[in-house]
Amino acid sequence: MRIYKAKDYKEMSRIGANILSSQIILKPQSVLGLATGSTPLGIYELLIERCKGGDIDFSQAASINLDEYKGLDGSHSQSYRYFMQNNLFSSININLENTHVPNGLADDDSKECRRYDKIIDDCGGIDIQLLGLGHNGHIGFNEPGTDFPKGTHLVALAESTIKANKRFFADEKDVPRFAYTMGIKSIMKARHILIAVSGIDKADIVKIAFWGPVSPEVPASVLQLHNNVTLIADEAALSKVD
């Protein structure tokens, strides 16, 4: 695992954007695995700036997002499709037909999961997968206890994840209880994994996930077994590591 220690969120975002920019520059038809949440926002802002400035070109790239809430339409303001549209896709020159997010309104769960795994395979696999880290060690919506060999699947969200996400909804009862997520198997197949972590509130889980034992109880710990992982964390997130 390659580790970049950034001073703060801003520097973490700059390093993340640099790595993703170099990926696009070196391989314009890259398949980018993308994440939602607070962590990648700074990275996305910089990618937008660079695309507008003509330094990077997404016209040949494809994207595959990690997850989507079950039950939310892509136009719902809390859906992950909407998040991506709003925070990245609408401001860069990516072809929307090449952007993929699970369909939150699919009526056949296993068919939707198979369709999503096939998209990943048909694209030739993910070149670089951007990840955030949940407080309980989740990556994507792979909650503690998830089997490592899973592809895309439907998950019941952990109570702690529902609580962490309720800030985005009018009421806790409006937070969807299920989501489609790429599985650990799909994530581990990415050729390069870029995990970004910021803030003192993630310091304990950073230490447990990357310096503790590999265990399904801490899904992110599996990344220790991948041969091409880059962790970018700020000083606060690394503050519990000796």
Interface ranges with ligand F6R (CB under 6 A):
35-39, 66-67, 132-134, 138-141
Nearer to ligand F6R, 20 or 66 (CB): 66
- Compute the distance between CA of residue 102 and CA of residue 156 in angstroms, rounded to an integer: 16
Q: How far is the CB of 97 from ligand F6R (least distance, A)?
A: 21
Active site residues: 67, 136, 138, 143
Contacts of 111 (CB under 8 A, 6+ apart): none
Nearer to ligand F6R, 23 or 79 (CB): 79
Nearer to ligand F6R, 37 or 125 (CB): 37
> Strand pairing partners for 220?
none
Q: How far is the CB of 205 from ligand F6R (least distance, A)?
A: 10
Residue closest to ligand F6R (Cβ)? 132
- Biggest CA–CA distance in the chain, Å, is 48
Nearer to ligand F6R, 58 or 83 (CB): 83
**Tokens 């999503």 label which residue?**
116
Q: Are 190 and 129 in contact (CB under 8 A)?
A: yes
Q: How far is the CB of 54 from ligand F6R (least distance, A)?
A: 29
